[in-house]
Amino acid sequence: MRELASRPLSAAVSGMTTEVVDPVPGAGAPHLPRQTGLVQLLTPEGERVEHPDYAIDVTAEELRDLYRDLVLVRRWDVEATALQRQGELGIWASLLGQEAAQVGAGRALRPDDTAFPTYREHGVAWTRGVDPLHVISLFRGVDNGGWDPVATGFNLYTVVIGAQCLHATGYAMGLQRDGAESAALAFLGDGATSQGEVNEAMIWAASFSAPVVFFCQNNQYAISVPLERQSRVPLYQRAAGFGFPGVRVDGNDVLAVLAVTRAALAAAREGQGPTFIEAFTYRMGAHTTSDDPTRYRLASELEEWKLRDPIARVKAYLSRTGTADADFFADVEARADELAAHIRRGTTEMPDPPGTAMFDRVYAEQTPHLAAQQAQFEAYQAGFEGSHR
Amino acid sequence: MRELASRPLSAAVSGMTTEVVDPVPGAGAPHLPRQTGLVQLLTPEGERVEHPDYAIDVTAEELRDLYRDLVLVRRWDVEATALQRQGELGIWASLLGQEAAQVGAGRALRPDDTAFPTYREHGVAWTRGVDPLHVISLFRGVDNGGWDPVATGFNLYTVVIGAQCLHATGYAMGLQRDGAESAALAFLGDGATSQGEVNEAMIWAASFSAPVVFFCQNNQYAISVPLERQSRVPLYQRAAGFGFPGVRVDGNDVLAVLAVTRAALAAAREGQGPTFIEAFTYRMGAHTTSDDPTRYRLASELEEWKLRDPIARVKAYLSRTGTADADFFADVEARADELAAHIRRGTTEMPDPPGTAMFDRVYAEQTPHLAAQQAQFEAYQAGFEGSHR
Amino acid sequence: MTQLLTIGKALNLGLRRAMEDDAKVVLMGEDIGRLGGVFRITDGLQKDFGEDRVVDTPLAEAGILGTAVGLAMRGYRPVCEIQFDGFVFPAYNQIVTQVAKIHARSRGRLAMPIVIRIPFGGGIGAVEHHSESPEAYFAHTPGLKVVAVSNPVDAYWGIQQAIAHPDPVVFLEPKRRYWDKGEVDTDATPDPLLAARVVRAGDDVTVLAYGPMVKTALQAAEAAAEEGRSLEVVDLRAISPLDLDPVVESVRRTGRCVVVHEAPVTLGLGAEIAARITESCFHSLEAPVLRVGGYDTPYPPSKLEEEYLPDLDRVLDAVDRAMEF
Amino acid sequence: MTQLLTIGKALNLGLRRAMEDDAKVVLMGEDIGRLGGVFRITDGLQKDFGEDRVVDTPLAEAGILGTAVGLAMRGYRPVCEIQFDGFVFPAYNQIVTQVAKIHARSRGRLAMPIVIRIPFGGGIGAVEHHSESPEAYFAHTPGLKVVAVSNPVDAYWGIQQAIAHPDPVVFLEPKRRYWDKGEVDTDATPDPLLAARVVRAGDDVTVLAYGPMVKTALQAAEAAAEEGRSLEVVDLRAISPLDLDPVVESVRRTGRCVVVHEAPVTLGLGAEIAARITESCFHSLEAPVLRVGGYDTPYPPSKLEEEYLPDLDRVLDAVDRAMEF
Ligand SMILES: Cc1ncc(C[n+]2csc(CCOP(=O)(O)OP(=O)(O)O)c2C)c(N)n1
Ligand SMILES: Cc1ncc(C[n+]2csc(CCOP(=O)(O)OP(=O)(O)O)c2C)c(N)n1
Ligand SMILES: [Mg+2]
Ligand SMILES: [Mg+2]
């Protein structure tokens, strides 16, 4: 049995030499400056540090906003997990521990950019103004994607691992054709990097210099399978093999994620092509509510990562620097309570869809064949009218 | 229209700075030494040059054998092309220009190694002792793979681009489990590098440190599509992103190919994991006999590459150094004539398979369902007995 | 205006017209640009419409379909060429889990007007994977539409209709008939994309076919006529959803039905049609619906394809059996 | 020895026994090792047989099947787990163009004894892609064999037989029945892998089912019996090749047949069975073979799956229609 404890977690976060891998001169777009470590702007202890290549200027208000995002998103997640336990949701995929990666990436987007999430990007959904209940309706089994992907610039969740990376790339090719100065942001997990389609997406993005950024949340696991099974070298290095820059950022540092993603998106919009961002983070909860992580990882691992909590460090910074006061924190808590209540009430009151909904929207216009099936279905259902069904 | 002439071909072969890309220390197997150029041991002019990392000791006899291989393989190819023109073959995929890459790679194999070809590796087939008529029978439409892949260590041709790379990797995982000191050699083209499955094969090979070598003949084109569409950076660099070494070799230099492939196979057998070899070469003929390359490339390109002919340089070396004399060359020519005659006679005399052959071997044992279909087929055919059919 | 066109040329002109009509139409595929496609169906289009509208793609079918999805999300109408039938499978995941489902997943908010052009079927003496008939795999997949053309007129109009159609369409081209010629009136009003068509009237047996087998069925009808037997031939045209109304009407008259396709018989389109026709025409049928198709074997090496593929004689043999039942 | 086992546990024990019997058996899949699989079917096997025989793979289904082909070429017997039915499609190219064809391509020189385990079907309240019934896609593909188990006995023996079988077998596990229990005699002589089985005798209508729908069909027979109607239920077990001999025998007696599956009706197994049974039993049929299946829509969100999936009432409804025809 492989020794879990031997995994050099701390080294990975702080000491590892991580650099932007430059493609050969002239090829690809070496727009991200060379760096010499994991990009970090806020330490786990809440110290603001500088990075030569990723300066970021955030106002006090922006900082407080980010903090509020993080707290609200976590609260949403906690509430959803509770609702699942109570039988209100079929399943829930928790983002616990990945709030900074998601809020940082989401807040880096401009309104006209488009995000292509997996099934775990509730934090990004939040930044795009998607109603949490629309996300929850999917996990409740009410629909397969309840929000408007066009109006929100937040594509529907994609459950088939990696498929959305090609969609984002194709969408970015469309942006190019439109002369739009916007970018696509594709989310993926560490496990997803092994899918052929994800690698094809990177090949296409490089080939067409498409304005797409691949944002990989390396949360160390694909369900139970640790990163080492997917790659023996840091994931951000993958990009260089395809001819574009890769960068590794502390995924639990919302400022660093914001700065790095902003830079990558800006480069994409300016025609410099794709970037791969590896946000180094940790899935603090189970894979989903159906999962039991005690079967494959040690509790001590989680303890170590708790010290790098993405929210605690922002709070520490806000408090210590006086950027926020007790009133602010109380207000955030109050809002979180409100949000939780909204989610709880909205979920338990959410109506089931009518049976005929499944015949809708299979095609742009219902075919005679489906209309006939629906009619049969309705006639059949009508036979039970008044009975137990 | 993209400017064909601007393609820096000469730079690509001689001046390009090509290095083995080392994966990060400790990960993967940086067994191939660092180098500073395209690996070349025999210049286009037939000068023997040394390479610090790929010394090769070949006897005069070995050199003559390699030359003979190259000439015979080319003659086979020319004969098959002629047979296709005369209607004896449905199609033929010519290897013209790629003889050195194939003979060099094939001769690097040990008897207990296994090759996984595409559909163009006739030169490798030759080195594995496969009867050319068995290869030709496929292109004639007599069968889909006429030789014994186990006895020859030469797997059947695989037409679906890239699929064989995963087979080779899985086979190599089997070698590992058997504790065999042998390796698998997967062939692929430059176009194939874009297939998801090929990238998955590299991911698996890295993850399991499988004894497989990926031998990519970069012949500059995937049918009509030039390399630039598949990758903006040299292909050998792909490997580093997956955590194993990549190396670029002059694919028209049989000695260099032999040396580099031998080293990579040795490393694989010793447990050092995979290597990616990019053999830089050129498809001097059409993609297949169905193709018309004048639609997508300039004649001048071919003229340039003729100066780097893989056979001419060996002949020049043999002659100039006195390693072979006129008798030897005459003998090789005579053998080539014999081979051509064997191929021509064998092809024109090749019997058609019986119609019932298609019901054979679908399964290990014929199912009752197929037996019934075959019986129907036979009864139906019998109805035509004596008639025009 | 009426022109004598091959199916291949009709497709080429239809694509050209669709691109002229709608600037959002983008062609994607391997070798479709400078080369004009291995069958030259896109010949000359990149030259006239540029590299952004006729895209020579990397060699990756999942990539073609997956980026097509993204382009469709951005308002484009991608027309993807799969070089040969046997190479559609790397894209199968994108087609079945994404292209087919996104309209429903988004409750109609995202349209997927993607055309997947596939030269399909055998009979050209090719090597493995170049002669497959994968239509049933798509017709079993809700969310897709599947059509097959059999002649230059349907090729010319059908490709334009498929491109203008709001849903994803798998557009099957009978590759061995690419060089068959016919008169095409480019000003006519075309038949609807998804409607079957009676192409020869008859009374004794209804013969159903699509794509390359329509010609075979018509040849069989010709031969049968010489023996005094009258076959009604229906070109199904729409494979999913099937348009069985004219078929039901016909079978109620003839009482006998034979379905012809190249794909393996087991779970080929003939299975669905037999099940549906039997249900609709139970009391009219004098014989079970009989199927003529490829055998349940991998497509054989080309020296055997003549034996594998349904031909005039095998159709007539089934007609005989239907008559004798 | 007889044990009370769930289907899941029976599979686990069957896999264990197969691994003990043959050192060449290698299990491959996502999360099957330390976690024991998301359904725990491989629970404890990596601990006992090691990481070389129970392989936690990278997240790539084409990789799983493609490397399985290579392992098979080297003499291994790979057993691949696809985590959920909806995730088999990235591997579709390897399955359809390689796994299914290599035996024929090599004229029998290369065996492909690969088992592809797929937990299939709906009814577990899951999100998209976790409730698919892809069996027809495989049954239409020559070179593959396809089986579905419905109970712990067949699970225990079937998995061992599939692994020992010389051809590739798509092995479908009724995921929503994983927790159903039954007595398994682990010393018994099992029925053949590819044979249908009459699981309840009856005279009025023959009801065919496989996998999760066998239980539903039996429930329907139970309910029908209360109303004085006698249903014969056949568990098809083998989906490709179909074993229709007992079905033909039964339908010749009953004159009526209903096929039940979760997959969409169009081109589902019911289509093939209807076509074949109609041909074999044309003169005995009192009604067309009726099909009860999923609607021709994408699998709906789970709140609607009860309406989508065939249940006892829908089977009885079809039985009524068959009787009234
Ligand atoms: C093609 C495919 N195969 C398998 C699955 C089942 N599955 C769901 S999530 C998951 C692990 C994903 O890991 P990763 O990409 O690291 O993302 P994370 O869940 O950690 O955010 C797997 C195997 C799937 N959804 N799609
Ligand atoms: C999956 C798949 N897609 C498309 C094809 C059609 N095709 C055959 S060869 C070829 C180009 C291959 O290029 P490359 O990999 O560079 O190999 P080369 O032919 O140059 O040796 C294509 C597109 C195929 N055989 N398989
Ligand atoms: Mg992960
Ligand atoms: Mg090439």
Q: What is the total residue count of chain B? A: 389
pLDDT at residue C288 is higher than 60? yes
Q: Are residues A340 and A367 in the same domain?
A: no
CA-to-CA distance for A8 and A24, rounded, in angstroms?
Answer: 31
Q: What is the total residue count of chain D? A: 325
DSSP letters along A309-352, please? -TTHHHHHHHHHTTSS-HHHHHHHHHHHHHHHHHHHHHHHTPPP
CA-to-CA distance for B295 and A263, rounded, in angstroms?
Answer: 42
Q: Ligand 1, closest atom to CA A161?
A: 26
Domain ranges in chain D with CATH number 3.40.50.920? 197-324
pLDDT at residue B33 is higher than 90? no
Query: What's the confidence (pLDDT) of residue B384?
Result: 85
Name the residue facing D67 among B173, B196, B364 (closest C-beta): B173
What share of chain B has pLDDT > 70, as a percent? 89
Is there a contact between B87 and B134 (Cβ–Cβ < 8 Å)? no
Q: Name subunits touching B (3+ CB pairs < 8 A).
A: A, C, D
Please compute the mean of the pLDDT values over residues B232-246 and round it to a whole number: 98
Question: pTM value?
Answer: 0.95
pLDDT at residue B275 is higher than 90? yes
Going by their DSSP bridges, the two strands B225-226 and B221-222 should be labelled as antiparallel
Closest CA to C293 of C251, C319, C261: C261
What's the number of CA atoms in the CB half-sphere (13 Å) around residue C289? 36
| For residue D241, cis peptide bond before it (omega within 30 degrees of 0) | yes
A24 in contact with chain B, both atoms CB, cutoff 8 A: yes
CA-to-CA distance for C239 and C149, rounded, in angstroms?
Answer: 10
Q: Round the average pLDDT of chain C to a whole number and report it.
A: 98
Measured over the CA atoms of residue D291, residue D295, residue D298 and residue D302, the dihedral's sign is: negative
Measured over the CA atoms of residue D196, residue D198, residue D199 and residue D202, the dihedral's sign is: positive
CATH fold of D2-185: Rossmann fold (3.40.50)
- A292: burial class by Cβ within 10 Å (0-12, 13-18, 19+)? exposed
Residue type, B107: R
CATH fold of D197-324: Rossmann fold (3.40.50)
Residue of D nearest to C282 (CA): D288
Q: Are residues B234 and B261 in the same domain?
A: yes
Q: Tokens 């300066």 appear where?
A: A55
Q: How confident is the model at residue D1 (pLDDT cuts 50, 70, 90)?
A: confident
Q: Ligand 2, closest atom to CA B222?
A: 13
CA-to-CA distance for C150 and C212, rounded, in angstroms?
Answer: 6
Judging contacts by C-beta atoms under 8 Å, the chain C residues touching residue B4 are none
Q: Tokens 């990177």 appear where?
A: A202
Count of CB atoms situated within 10 Å of the CB of B26: 8
Return the SS3 of A154: strand
Instruction: Answer with the residue of higher pLDDT: D247 or B20.
Output: D247
Q: Are residues A252 and A374 in the same domain?
A: no
Measured over the CA atoms of residue C172, residue C176, residue C177 and residue C179, the dihedral's sign is: positive
* DSSP 8-class letter at D242: B
Determine, for residues D67 and B364 on separate chains, whether the beta-carbon distance falls below 8 Å.
no
DSSP letters along C241-302, please? TB--HHHHHHHHHHS-EEEEEEEESTTSHHHHHHHHHHHHSTTT-SSPPEEEEE-SSPPPPG
Q: What is the total residue count of chain A? A: 389
Assembly ipTM: 0.96
Residue of A nearest to D60 (CA): A195
Q: Are residues A290 and A365 in the same domain?
A: no
Q: Ligand 2: residues whose CB is within 6 Å? A: B 120, 159-161, 189-192, 219, 221-223, 283, 287; C 30, 59, 61, 83, 87, 90
Q: Domain limits at B383?
A: 355-389
Q: Round the average pLDDT of chain B to a whole number and report it.
A: 91
Q: Are residues B293 and B320 in the same domain?
A: yes
pLDDT at residue B4 is higher than 80? no
CATH number of the domain that A40 lies in?
3.40.50.970
pLDDT at residue B136 is higher than 70? yes
β strands within D7-114, DSSP E: 25-29, 54-56, 77-81
Closest CA to A200 of A289, A274, A251: A274
Which helix (H) or strand (E) segment holds residue B248: the answer is strand B246-250
Report the separation in Å between the CA atom of C67 and the middle of ligand 3, taken as the mean of its atom positions: 24
Going by their DSSP bridges, the two strands C181-185 and C2-6 should be labelled as antiparallel
Q: Are residues B43 and B157 in the same domain?
A: yes
Q: How confident is the model at residue A384 (pLDDT cuts 50, 70, 90)?
A: confident
Is there a contact between A244 and B237 (Cβ–Cβ < 8 Å)? no
Count of CB atoms situated within 10 Å of the CB of A37: 14
B143 in contact with chain C, both atoms CB, cutoff 8 A: yes
Domain ranges in chain C with CATH number 3.40.50.970? 2-185
CA-to-CA distance for C124 and C130, rounded, in angstroms?
Answer: 9
Determine, for residues D298 and C240 on separate chains, whether the beta-carbon distance falls below 8 Å.
no
B156 in contact with chain D, both atoms CB, cutoff 8 A: yes
Q: Where would I find the H helices in chain A?
A: 9-10, 60-85, 99-108, 122-127, 132-140, 149-152, 163-178, 196-208, 227-230, 238-242, 254-269, 299-306, 312-320, 326-348, 368-382
What's the number of CA atoms in the CB half-sphere (13 Å) around residue B26? 5
Is there a contact between B315 and B46 (Cβ–Cβ < 8 Å)? yes
**CA D194 centroid distance within chain:** 11
Is there a contact between D280 and D244 (Cβ–Cβ < 8 Å)? yes
Residue of B nearest to A242 (CA): B238
A134 Cβ neighbours under 8 A, 6+ residues apart: A146, A147
Judging contacts by C-beta atoms under 8 Å, the chain C residues touching residue B191 are 58-59
How many domains does chain B divide into?
A: 2
CA-to-CA distance for D316 and D217, rounded, in angstroms?
Answer: 9
CA-to-CA distance for C206 and C203, rounded, in angstroms?
Answer: 8
Name the residue facing C71 among A148, A158, A170 (closest C-beta): A170
Q: Are residues B249 and B266 in the same domain?
A: yes
pLDDT at residue A47 is higher than 70? yes
A97 Cβ neighbours under 8 A, 6+ residues apart: A219, A252, A281, A282, A283, A284, A285, A305, A309, A310
Instruction: Give tens-digit pLDDT for B93-104.
Output: 999 999 999 999
Closest CA to B86 of B362, B351, B347, B381: B347
In terms of phi and psi (left: phi > 0; alpha: psi -120 to 50; beta: otherwise), the region of D228 is left
Q: Ligand 1, closest atom to CA D30?
A: 23
Q: Is D130 one of the annotated active-site residues of the chain?
A: yes
Q: Are residues B272 and B339 in the same domain?
A: yes
pLDDT at residue A20 is higher than 80? no
pLDDT at residue B169 is higher than 80? yes
- A386: burial class by Cβ within 10 Å (0-12, 13-18, 19+)? exposed
Q: Are residues A272 and A236 in the same domain?
A: yes
Query: What's the confidence (pLDDT) of residue A386?
Result: 66
Name the residue facing D70 among B144, B150, B174 (closest C-beta): B174
* DSSP 8-class letter at C148: E
Strands of the sheet with A184-189, listed across from one edge: A114-116, A184-189, A212-218, A275-280, A246-250
A58 in contact with chain B, both atoms CB, cutoff 8 A: no
Q: Tokens 């009975």 appear where?
A: A387
D280 Cβ neighbours under 8 A, 6+ residues apart: D244, D248, D251
Q: Tokens 């690996």 appear where?
A: B39
Instruction: Give tens-digit pLDDT for C64-102.
Output: 999 999 999 999 999 999 999 999 999 999 999 999 999
Q: How confident is the model at residue B32 (pLDDT cuts 50, 70, 90)?
A: very low
Query: What's the confidence (pLDDT) of residue C1?
Result: 87
Determine, for residues A28 and B232 on separate chains, whether the beta-carbon distance falls below 8 Å.
yes
Give how far Cα B140 sits from Cα of B120, C215, D47, D106, D265, Å.
15, 27, 51, 16, 41
Is there a contact between C152 and C10 (Cβ–Cβ < 8 Å)? yes
CA-to-CA distance for A307 and C290, rounded, in angstroms?
Answer: 71
Determine, for residues B242 and A230 on separate chains, whether the beta-carbon distance falls below 8 Å.
no
- Which-ligand-closest: CA of A160? 1
Query: What's the confidence (pLDDT) of residue A387?
Result: 64
pLDDT at residue A31 is higher than 70? no
Q: Are residues B256 and B369 in the same domain?
A: no
Residue of C nearest to B89 (CA): C125
Please compute the mean of the pLDDT values over residues A320-331 and round it to a whole number: 98
CA-to-CA distance for C15 and C37, rounded, in angstroms?
Answer: 13
In terms of phi and psi (left: phi > 0; alpha: psi -120 to 50; beta: otherwise), the region of B328 is alpha
Closest CA to D149 of D190, D202, D95: D190
Report the separation in Å between the CA atom of A223 and the middle of ligand 3, taken as the mean of its atom positions: 7
β strands within chain C, DSSP E: 2-6, 25-29, 54-56, 77-81, 115-120, 145-148, 169-174, 181-185, 197-200, 205-209, 231-235, 238-240, 257-264, 290-294
Q: Round the average pLDDT of chain A to a whole number and report it.
A: 91
Q: How confident is the model at residue C24 (pLDDT cuts 50, 70, 90)?
A: very high
Please compute the mean of the pLDDT values over residues A329-337 and round it to a whole number: 98
Q: Are residues B332 and B384 in the same domain?
A: no
Instruction: Give tens-digit pLDDT for A237-270.
Output: 999 999 999 999 999 999 999 999 999 999 999 9
Angle of helix D213-226 versus helix D312-324 axis, rounded to 10:
60
Q: Is A283 one of the annotated active-site residues of the chain?
A: yes
Which residues is C10 bridged to in the sheet? none
